[in-house]
Structure 1
Amino acid sequence: MKKIYILSAVLSAFSLHAQFTVTVQTPADFKEQDAILYTLNGSKDIIASKEQVKNNTWTFKYPKNYSGMMKIYFPNTNNSISFISENKNVSIKLETQDNKVKNIVYQDESNDLMSKLQEGSQKKELILPALAQIKEYYKDNTDFGKALKTEISRLSGGINSVDQAQHPFIYYYNTNYSKFLSADSAKKVTQDDIVNFLDKSNDLLETSSLLRPILVAYLNTGGNTNVGASVDKLLDTLKVETPRGQTVLSELIDIFDVYDMNEFKDKYLGLAKNLKCTINDRLASTIKSNTNVEMGATFPNNKFQSPLNTTAKSLYDVKADKKVIVFWSSTCSHCESELPKLLEKYNDLKAKNIQVVGLSLDTDKDSYSKKISVFPWINDSELKGWNSSYVDTYNVHATPTYFILDANNKIISKPEHVGDVLEYFKIK
Structure 2
Amino acid sequence: MKKLLAFIFLISSLAQAQHTVNGTMTNALETDWVILYKIEGARQQFVQNSTIKKDTIVIDGNKQAIGTFQFQLPETSRAGFYRITYRTTNPSFVDFIYNKEDVSFTFHPDYPEQSVTFSKSNENIIYKNYLTEISKAQQKLDSLQITAIKKPSLDLKTDYKTAFNNVNTIQKTYLKNTNGMYVQPFIKATLRANPSEIKTTAKDYMSNMTTTFFDNMNFKDKTLINSSFLVDRITDYVFYINYSENKEAQQKLYKESIKTVLSKIENPPFKKDIIEFLVAQFENTRNLDLIDFLFENYYEKLPEGLQNKEYLKEKKALFATEIGRTAPDFSWKENGINLKLSTLNDAEKYVLVFWSTDCSHCLKEIPLLHKFMQDKTDVKVVAFSLERNDFGWKNMKATLPTWHHVLGLNKWENKIARTYNIMSTPTYFILDKDKKIIAKPEELKDVTQFFAKK
State the TM-score, normalized to the length of structure 1: 0.50
Larger RCO, structures 1/2 (Cα 8 Å, 6+ apart): 1
State the TM-score, normalized to the length of structure 2: 0.48
The structure number with the bigger radius of gyration is: 2
